[in-house]
Amino acid sequence: MKKRVASTSTESSKLDRKTIEKNRRIHMKSLCDQLSSLIPPNLKPAKSKLMLGQRDQLDLAARYIKHMNERIEKLKRQKEQVMSNNDDRKMFNNNVESKLPIVELRDLGSSIEVMLVSGLNKTFMLYEVISVLEEEGAEVVTASFSTVGDKIFYVVHAQVKISRVGVETTRAYNRLQEFIAPPEIWPEDV
């Protein structure tokens, strides 16, 4: 009788091990199928070819993971580069902001283009700029402005009133400079 009990317990432990091993294989197959489903379809072989074996699926998944890790590293480097460029741009913008307002005058022969850049807190009256140009012999054709971030950009196009006389652009530029940044706020060494 003891042999039969021992034999039954040995058989039951064999069955338990077989069941455990079967469940482990089913679980591993399920995990491999899950992993395979995460691989994009364009990386899998065409349906006309034979289905990949489990080992081939694992190899494909490993290559895909390696590819994605390389892509992540590349994107991180690009992000760092963009962020450092943004820091440089912010530094440039801060330097420009400290030099505002800016006046630029272009002599285009029979016409003049005046560009002014100011900060939101360093504004001036556009009609005064137009008055300076008209007093110097130019007739304003168009004037426009736009706000970008914390800067205001003004563009004034003017034509010469009397083509024989013309416009003294240097004098107009100096008057605009004085108007935009009066001499009393200029640094002492200028």
- What CATH number does the domain containing 36 carry? 4.10.280
Asked whether residue 114 falls in the same domain as residue 157, the answer is yes
Write down the pLDDT at residue 48.
41
Does a structural domain hold residue 186? no
Written as tens digits, the pLDDT of the chain (190 aa) is 455 555 667 777 888 899 999 999 999 999 988 888 888 877 777 654 557 788 888 888 899 899 889 989 988 888 888 887 776 666 555 555 556 778 888 887 778 888 888 887 766 677 888 888 888 888 899 988 888 888 888 899 988 877 656 677 788 888 888 767 654 444 454 4
Structurally, the chain folds into a number of domains equal to: 2
For residue 83, what pLDDT is reported?
80
CATH number at residue 123: 3.30.70.260
Based on the domain organization, do 106 and 82 belong to the same domain?
no
Is 107 within a domain?
yes
At residue 47, the pLDDT reads 59
Using alpha carbons only, what angle is made at residue 119 by residues 114 and 122, rounded to the nearest 5 degrees?
90
Last residue of a domain, one of 61, 86, 111: 86
Confidence (pLDDT) at 147:
86
Query: Is 187 a domain residue?
Result: no
In a domain, 4, yes or no: no
91 inside domain = no
Q: What is the pLDDT of residue 81?
A: 84
Instruction: Indicate whether 108 and 60 sit together in one domain.
Output: no
pTM of the model: 0.44
For residue 183, what is the enclosing H or E element? none
- Among 59, 86, 113, the domain-final residue is 86
Residues 68 and 134 in one domain: no
CB-based contacts of 172, cutoff 8 Å, min separation 6: 105, 112, 132, 133, 136, 138
Domain co-membership, 112 together with 152: yes
Closest-CA residue to 132 (of 102, 172, 177, 167): 172
pLDDT value, residue 186:
45
Domain limits for position 49: 18-86
Dihedral angle of Cα 64, 70, 76, 79, to the nearest 10 degrees: -90
25 with 76, same domain: the answer is yes
pLDDT of 24 reads 95
Contacts of 97-105 spanning 24+ positions with Cβ under 8 A: 97/150, 97/151, 100/151, 101/180, 101/181, 103/173, 103/176, 103/177, 103/180, 105/169, 105/172, 105/173, 105/176
In the listed set 37, 62, 86, which residue is the last one of a domain according to the structure? 86
Give me the pLDDT at residue 66, please.
Answer: 92
Q: Does some domain include residue 9?
A: no
From CA 176, how far away is CA 117, in angstroms rounded? Answer: 12
Same domain, 150 and 82: no
